[in-house]
């Protein structure tokens, strides 16, 4: 019997401060109408000055552990996807490890922007399948507001802060993470990047983006890799109960669903209330879906993402 990672628990966390589109219109020349029409976003959560990425990650991790009925001491590995770490080093995962009382195993970060959760999921799932971990904590977390240029209306209205976490548990059975495909194409690095970095200019930098190029590639790549992961595992769009894509922009999500032939009623949407939280968006949406009673045990979930790098991927999960 094959060992798979079942999803033992999901948890999300959002910082308290909520900023509406009207709030954003007070700082840049924009409007609620433009933002809703072009992105579907109505509000976003922002961490305050003192709240760090690790704080959000720790809350989400604790929520996921509670849902799984486990403690930090049960966890063998933490894989954390983020492009907004507390510090250049150590890994944000190290702070999470200490806070949840996990003293063994290993904890590390990876950087794959909006695909960060899927990259982390793939990495942790591989470790579980190989017998290297029994319980793994997979986290997607960002404080994008800390690297947002609030004078640039092209980007500042799009992003939000948040964290999502999943506890994977080794088991012998058909449910759990069925397959995750990940891809990248570094030729597109100049289309979405931070203007700073330790070795580039000793700075943190701000998000800068060729929005149209990202849009074009995201619509195609997320649909095509979703089709690929379905076909590879002998499933069709009809088998999917919920489509939970990276929540970047409702127009991208609509375009992906259309190209894939996914009915609109199967698309789970949180972009209206969370905005684009990069690596956090999929686990936050999954946790939100469970909390709202939409996602249920036994259902088949398909989750694609695409982000800076470019990176992209898709995961097929039986809850
Ligand atoms: O996870 C991946 C992260 N990236 C993304 O999710 C972004 C992907 N790209 C997009 O979502 C879209 O390209 C945007 C939402 C960023 C832009 O939508 P668009 O329909 O491609 O607009 P555009 O870039 O063609 O801009 C149209 C106009 C421009 O004005 P002009 O040059 O036509 O006069 C922009 O300056 O809209 C203007 N504009 C704005 N107007 C009001 C750009 N941002 C704003 C704004 N408010 N916030």
CATH number at residue 17: 3.40.47.10
Which of residues 119, 145, 174 is at a domain's end?
174
* In a shared domain, residues 121 and 229: no
Mean pLDDT of the chain: 97
Question: Ligand 1: distance of its center to the CA of 76 in Å?
Answer: 43
d(CA 112, CA 262): 26
Average pLDDT over residues 163-172: 97
* In a shared domain, residues 290 and 305: yes
What distance, in Å, lies between the first and last C-alpha atoms of the chain? 19
Mutate to test the pocket of ligand 1, among 41, 115, 249, 308 (most ligand atoms within 8 A of CB): 249
Instruction: Indicate whether 225 pLDDT > 90.
Output: yes
Is any ligand 1 atom within 6 A of the Cβ of residue 154? Answer: yes
User: In the chain, how many domains are there?
Assistant: 2
Confidence band of 207 (pLDDT split at 50, 70, 90): very high
* In a shared domain, residues 50 and 22: yes
Q: What's residue 317's pLDDT?
A: 98
* In a shared domain, residues 38 and 114: yes
pLDDT over 90 for what percent of the chain? 98
* In a shared domain, residues 122 and 212: no
Question: Ligand 1: distance of its center to the CA of 154 in Å?
Answer: 5
Which of residues 159, 174, 189 is at a domain's end?
174
Bridge partner list, 267: 243
* In a shared domain, residues 131 and 278: no
Average pLDDT over residues 9-35: 98
* In a shared domain, residues 159 and 216: no
Query: For residues 166-190, b (16+ Cβ closer than 10 Å) or e, as one string?
Result: bbbbbbeeebbbbbbbbbbeeebee
Q: What's residue 174's pLDDT?
A: 86
d(CA 221, CA 306): 7
The interaxial angle of helices 250-260 and 32-39, nearest 10 deg, is 20
d(CA 35, CA 51): 26
Question: Ligand 1: distance of its center to the CA of 224 in Å?
Answer: 24
Q: What's residue 32's pLDDT?
A: 98
Cβ pair 282, 166 in contact under 8 A: no
pLDDT tens digits, one per residue of 248-299? 999 999 999 999 999 999 999 999 999 999 999 999 999 999 999 999 999 9
Q: What's residue 263's pLDDT?
A: 98
pLDDT tens digits, one per residue of 45-82? 999 999 999 999 999 999 999 999 999 999 999 999 99
Average pLDDT over residues 230-238: 98
* In a shared domain, residues 167 and 181: no
Q: What's residue 2's pLDDT?
A: 85
pLDDT tens digits, one per residue of 88-134? 999 999 999 999 999 899 999 999 999 999 999 999 999 999 999 99
Average pLDDT over residues 154-174: 96
d(CA 197, CA 102): 30
Is any ligand 1 atom within 6 A of the Cβ of residue 276? Answer: yes
Element (H, E) at 40: none
pLDDT tens digits, one per residue of 4-20? 999 999 999 999 999 99
Average pLDDT over residues 26-44: 98
Q: What is the DSSP string of 41-69?
A: --EEEE--TT--HHHHHHHHHHHHHHHHT
Instruction: Indicate whether 208 pLDDT > 80.
Output: yes
67: nearest Cα among 290, 302, 295: 290
* In a shared domain, residues 257 and 236: yes
Is any ligand 1 atom within 6 A of the Cβ of residue 249? Answer: yes
């Amino acid at each position: 019997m094959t060992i798979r990672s079942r999803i033992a628990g999901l948890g999300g966390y959002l910082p308290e401060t909520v900023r509406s589109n009207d709030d954003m219109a007070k700082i840049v020349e924009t409007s609620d109408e433009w933002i809703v029409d072009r992105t579907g976003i109505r509000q976003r959560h922002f961490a305050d000055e003192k709240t760090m990425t690790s704080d959000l990650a720790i809350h989400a991790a604790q929520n996921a552990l509670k849902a799984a009925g486990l403690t930090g001491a049960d966890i063998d590995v933490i894989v954390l996807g983020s492009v907004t770490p507390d510090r250049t080093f150590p890994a944000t995962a190290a702070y999470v490890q200490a806070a949840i009382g996990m003293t063994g195993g290993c904890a590390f970060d990876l950087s794959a922007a909006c695909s960060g959760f899927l990259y982390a999921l793939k990495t942790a799932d591989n470790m579980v399948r190989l017998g290297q971990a029994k319980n793994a904590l997979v986290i997607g977390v960002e404080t994008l507001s800390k690297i947002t240029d609030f004078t640039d209306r092209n980007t500042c209205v799009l992003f939000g802060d948040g964290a999502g976490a999943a506890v994977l548990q080794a088991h012998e059975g058909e449910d759990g993470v069925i397959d995750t495909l990940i891809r990248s194409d570094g030729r597109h690095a100049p289309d979405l990047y931070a203007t700073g970095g330790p070795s580039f200019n000793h700075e943190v930098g701000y998000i800068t983006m060729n929005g149209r190029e990202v849009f074009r590639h995201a619509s195609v790549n997320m649909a095509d890799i979703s089709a690929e992961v379905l076909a590879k595992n002998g499933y069709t769009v009809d088998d999917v109960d919920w489509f939970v894509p990276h929540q970047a922009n409702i127009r991208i999500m609509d375009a992906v669903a259309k190209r894939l032939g996914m009915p609109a009623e199967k698309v789970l949407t949180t972009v209206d209330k969370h905005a684009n939280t990069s690596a956090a968006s999929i686990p936050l949406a999954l946790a939100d879906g469970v909390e709202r009673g939409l996602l249920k045990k036994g259902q088949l979930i398909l989750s694609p993402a695409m982000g800076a790098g470019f990176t992209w991927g898709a995961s097929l999960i039986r809850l």
